[in-house]
Structure 1
Amino acid sequence: MRPLSIYTSWIILILLFISSCSSEKEKVMITSGSDKYGGIFAYNESGTINTLFPARGYFQSEIQVISFITEPLVKMAPDMSIVPCIAESWSVNEDGTEYTFKIRNGVYFHDSDIFSNGEGRALVASDVAFCFQKACEDFPGNTVSHYFRGVLKGASKYFDGQADIVSGIELIDDQTLKLTLKDPFSDLLALLSNACLGIYPEEYLKNWQGDLDHGTIGTGPFKISSFDKEKLLLLEKNQRYWALNDEGTPLPYLSAIKMTFEKDKKVVADAFKGQMINFIPNLNTAHSSLKNASEDSFTRKKNPIMRTKFLGLYMPNEVVANKQVRKALQYAIDKDLLVDSVLNKKGIPAKTGMIPPIFSDYVSLDNIGYKLDPISAKHSLELSGLEMESLNNLEIYSTNSEEDVNVANAIRKMFKDNLDLSISVKYFHPSEYYELIESGKATLFIDGYTGDYPSPDNFLYNLFYGKYLPKGDEEYSGFNLYRYKNPFFDNLLDSARHAKTKEFQIEYFQKAEKMLMSDAAVIPLYYDETEYGLNKDLQNFVIDPLNLFDLRKVYFNRSSQ
């Protein structure tokens, strides 16, 4: 047996500690005489957490934790409708350019030393105004500025340093905020549900002692107790959380969340089977002992999510800039084989375009995707007029995650089999990988995008809109990593975003998606699904289409014990 490392041994002790804390003294009966208990929810996060500052949230793992701690104006319900959160209500003027929000009373920030008396104060409308103006600022790592630029009046001027305030943010009184848009934007409420637009107090930026990325103060159901991004994140229940269930019981039910960062799959699998952790994501890439384990020991679930996995194409590269090369690569990929054999039937082959088929009111136009066609692939390569030497210099970049590595190797083989190309693959830690693609140093790369808010706009505007690209191709860009530039595409998106009816908006989105695919500017591979495991006694746990889970109403059913 391979001896355990000191770190692995330490993690096991932590997991045992978590398990022991789930003893009777930690269980809190939600309703007198029932079998419903609160307690500690424990899970292992294999993803990267570099920041907990909402406006810098990038990785799914970061956004998940941010959603525990801070809250946006509105939230997305599991059915993708928009429901009140920090804002208890809102109104819209006739032409759709003014949104007035009523801020909920009785919402308090977490207790913290950033406040003069250590006690969290009430959230007011000026806090929302402060956070939204900060979101429009040009600061390192800002991942949300492009949401407001071109939408919120004055946001672009503020971002460019041409104005001292964002003119479209107006404070009416302590409980009322008005947002004025440049043009109507029917997806504004959906956009505002983004967890990275969670509200934090101004004191957080002024008085926080230490690295802003290592802590966040919000109004969410849980608050940070301690955080070591290499070992453990502890969140405890916010005792002054504002929300109640339908019977008037305070939320959340859980007393704490404990998250470890173990990389050894066997250690994590053993902890899950021993009920030391309650939830395990990504069963398809979990340790082999769980992939085919009996479902008597845990509950296995699988559902579609708002995520497309694709091969990114860096357009400024002289080889990739050749449209015939891009078409050849499109025709050379067998998406059915990728899903059935490489991914063990996880996901749906992406044959209908870039936008995943999860929106009830959106359907991609017919025949805009690419299917396996080796003859067309070779013909397109011949039409490119390029020498094989330059084509073989292409490289596929991938993270070192098991799924990405398997997908990258499968695509490399397809390019060899169907185009006789000898393309190499390079693997990187996720942090290094994203630094490379954000600075324009990757030519072909395995990428995936999970929607930030419930709209097809995510997969077109956030990924491919070209008007706000930096001037230099190798300058940092947190969006449109492919440097795709097509003014006709951008204009279609502008028309979609400013459309006054849903029908017109969808029509423009469809035309924009068709143009993107006609340009062969991206190679959609599969529409993703999430497959996960839960302890049998965990109740009310649901992963939503954004691949996030809300733990406010999760509880343990101890009737079997």
Structure 2
Amino acid sequence: MKFKRLYIAFVLGLVALTACQNKNKPNQSHLVFRYNEHSDITSLDPAFAKDQRNIWAVHQLYNTLVGLDDSLNIKPELAKSWNISDDGLTFTFKLREDVYFQQSEIFKNKKRQLSAKDVVFSLKRLTNPELASPGSWIMKPVKSIKSLDDFTLEIKLKENFPAFLGLLSMKYCSVVPREVQSGKIDFRTNPIGTVPFQFKRWIPQEKLVFRKNPLYFETDSTDQQLPYLEAVVITFLPDKQSEFMQFVQGNLDFMSGLDVSYKDELLQANGRLKAKYKSKIILDKSPYLNTEYVGFYLADSTSDIHHKSLRQAINYGFDRQKMIKYLRNGIGIPAEQGIIPKGLPGFGGVQGFSYQPEKAKTLVQQYIQKTGDNSPEVTISTNPSYVDLIEFMQAELASIGIKVNVDVLPASTLRQKRSSGQLDAFRASWIADYPDAQNYLSLFYSKNKSPNGPNYTHFESQLYDSIYEKTLKISEPKNYYLSFIVN
């Protein structure tokens, strides 16, 4: 069964740049790790870890029950083991007994041990209407949660949800001390967690400093206390070119992403480091659980984009391979196999849209014959960081007879208008909340239509919904993609 095409996925990928260590620097135990965030971090309370800038900082301060290894497999964190009932509805977790919260004035004793009651409080806290956490949706599948003893807790679900363990790895689900409810501290700027680093100083728009946590519970294979680093320092340079200059001068240790302002200075056309940087920088390229796409808003039946033949023509009418090669120096994976990114079970389950200009021209003619509109036109809205990609599409689609207007909006305005259905076509992206293909399929589930969910296209199909709901009952992740073919 084929459905309306409601998006154009065009690029996936992650590039991380790390400065090579200087042999003259102090020994490892005294290192400070430095990176930059372009926007100010808004909160260190994990209940508000909605976007990457907050998530990365919160990750240095808090643990969750379970985490993910570098292959996206579930691994223990605060929970040393767990059991799932045969019907998939009851999860029983046994906690580590050697975990202590970072020292704080809100504790009567200097060392405050983690207990199951803290986990129960932390998860229930997400649903507190006074807190208004954007992560409250995580608890929707949960029927009840309770502590069975000091180090055992039980979570019951309303219905089977195979991705639930992955959901618990999200930073929203970080465990905080139940003393937070006293209101004696501003938890947004005074975090108290259990991980390798603890809060030291925050100067808004300048820097954020975390120091080594002496109470951290993990050791390495030789029983040496972790972490090795002494501190993490986050700066807030808003300009990406300035960030790059600080990086190449050795004032930052890490950069993520590839900005147009410096990509040609740094990389060859084949995506490899230029010779002058090979001894200074480590380039790490890997699949990233992120899909960049152009979405079509389908709720407005008067829009030209509502016609299926025009949407298909756009999909066949531009070369994703060329886009990645020349505009991103080979950093990225052309999304020709659907919305699910490489790295998740379900990737490659369908044959999506490839570059077929003659077929695209035929589809444009079908649109003209059906509508009488001899000059098909579409406006695609984007933020400044992705103008080059949309302008590439503009040039490619002009050759098949489609005029594209590029509407450049501030990122915040784009998000607001996209969510409220004010844009016919828009550039967007989806970074996985949890490592499951179902998270991407949820973008087109009718009950998730914005502003109540991430279905910004307002696509709606009873058949799609019924198949999507069946995936929630499938226990094997490799079968999640089922027969979804989105055209």
Q: Secondary structure, in 3 states, of the residue corresponding to 1:488?
A: helix
How far 1:78 moved relative to its partner? 0.6
Look up the match of 1:326.
311
State the identity %.
24
Look up the match of 2:339.
354
Look up the match of 2:54.
62
For 1:17-416, list aligned pairs within 5 A: 27=26, 36-47=28-39, 49-113=41-105, 115-117=106-108, 119=110, 121-137=112-128, 142-149=133-140, 151-153=141-143, 168-207=144-183, 209-210=185-186, 213-283=188-258, 285=260, 287=262, 289-291=265-267, 292=274, 293-318=276-301, 319=303, 320-359=305-344, 361-373=345-357, 374-382=360-368, 385=371, 387=373, 392=377, 394-401=378-385, 404-416=386-398
Computed over aligned residues only, the root mean square deviation of the Cα atoms, in angstroms, reads: 2.9
Conservation of the 8 A alpha-carbon contact between 1:307 and 1:451:
yes
Question: 1-side partners of 2:423 and 2:321: how far apart?
Answer: 26
- Structure 2 residues without counterparts, runs of 5 or longer: 1-18, 268-273
- Residues 209 and 108 (structure 1 numbering): CA distance in 2 closer, same or farther, change over 3 Å? same
For 1:454-465, list aligned pairs within 5 A: 454-461=435-442, 463-465=443-445
Residue-pair matches, total: 455
How far 1:398 moved relative to its partner? 1.8
Conservation of the 8 A alpha-carbon contact between 2:288 and 2:342:
no
Conservation of the 8 A alpha-carbon contact between 1:329 and 1:377:
no
Question: 1-side partners of 2:130 and 2:394: how far apart?
Answer: 38
Question: 1-side partners of 2:61 and 2:441: how far apart?
Answer: 29
How far 1:118 moved relative to its partner? 8.0
Q: Secondary structure, in 3 states, of the residue corresponding to 2:351?
A: coil
Conservation of the 8 A alpha-carbon contact between 1:464 and 1:480:
yes
Conservation of the 8 A alpha-carbon contact between 2:138 and 2:167:
yes
- Residues 45 and 383 (structure 1 numbering): CA distance in 2 closer, same or farther, change over 3 Å? farther
- Residues 381 and 327 (structure 1 numbering): CA distance in 2 closer, same or farther, change over 3 Å? same
- Residues 410 and 176 (structure 1 numbering): CA distance in 2 closer, same or farther, change over 3 Å? same
How far 1:295 moved relative to its partner? 0.5
Question: 2-side partners of 1:478 and 1:347: how far apart?
Answer: 27
- Structure 1 residues without counterparts, runs of 5 or longer: 1-18, 30-35, 154-167, 519-561
Question: 2-side partners of 1:131 and 1:289: how far apart?
Answer: 46
Conservation of the 8 A alpha-carbon contact between 2:437 and 2:480:
no
How far 1:87 moved relative to its partner? 0.7
Question: 1-side partners of 2:388 and 2:184: how far apart?
Answer: 42
Question: 2-side partners of 1:333 and 1:208: how far apart?
Answer: 57
Question: 2-side partners of 1:376 and 1:494: how far apart?
Answer: 36
How far 1:120 moved relative to its partner? 6.0
- For 2:420, which of 439, 461, 466 is the aligned residue? 439
How far 1:387 moved relative to its partner? 4.1
Conservation of the 8 A alpha-carbon contact between 1:377 and 1:418:
no
Q: Secondary structure, in 3 states, of the residue corresponding to 2:395?
A: helix
Conservation of the 8 A alpha-carbon contact between 2:298 and 2:458:
yes
Conservation of the 8 A alpha-carbon contact between 2:319 and 2:354:
no
Q: Secondary structure, in 3 states, of the residue corresponding to 2:390?
A: helix
Question: 2-side partners of 1:145 and 1:494: how far apart?
Answer: 21
Q: Secondary structure, in 3 states, of the residue corresponding to 1:498?
A: coil
Q: Secondary structure, in 3 states, of the residue corresponding to 2:114?
A: coil
- Residues 398 and 111 (structure 1 numbering): CA distance in 2 closer, same or farther, change over 3 Å? farther
Residue 485 of structure 2 corresponds to residue 509 of structure 1: no
- Residues 266 and 186 (structure 1 numbering): CA distance in 2 closer, same or farther, change over 3 Å? closer
How far 1:41 moved relative to its partner? 0.5
Question: 2-side partners of 1:344 and 1:419: how far apart?
Answer: 28
Question: 1-side partners of 2:103 and 2:424: how far apart?
Answer: 47
- Residues 508 and 84 (structure 1 numbering): CA distance in 2 closer, same or farther, change over 3 Å? closer
- Residues 413 and 493 (structure 1 numbering): CA distance in 2 closer, same or farther, change over 3 Å? same
- Residues 313 and 53 (structure 1 numbering): CA distance in 2 closer, same or farther, change over 3 Å? farther
Question: 2-side partners of 1:423 and 1:386: how far apart?
Answer: 20
Query: Residue 425 of structure 1 aligns to which amino acid in structure 2?
Result: D
Worse overlay, 175-184 or 276-285: 276-285
- Residues 88 and 126 (structure 1 numbering): CA distance in 2 closer, same or farther, change over 3 Å? same
Residue 409 of structure 2 corresponds to residue 427 of structure 1: yes
- Residues 435 and 69 (structure 1 numbering): CA distance in 2 closer, same or farther, change over 3 Å? farther
Question: 1-side partners of 2:97 and 2:404: how far apart?
Answer: 62
Worse overlay, 377-386 or 50-59: 377-386
How far 1:169 moved relative to its partner? 1.3
How far 1:96 moved relative to its partner? 1.6
Worse overlay, 373-382 or 245-254: 373-382
Question: 2-side partners of 1:240 and 1:47: how far apart?
Answer: 31
- For 1:495, which of 466, 470, 474 is the aligned residue? 470
Query: Residue 421 of structure 1 aligns to which amino acid in structure 2?
Result: K
Question: 2-side partners of 1:342 and 1:46: how far apart?
Answer: 22
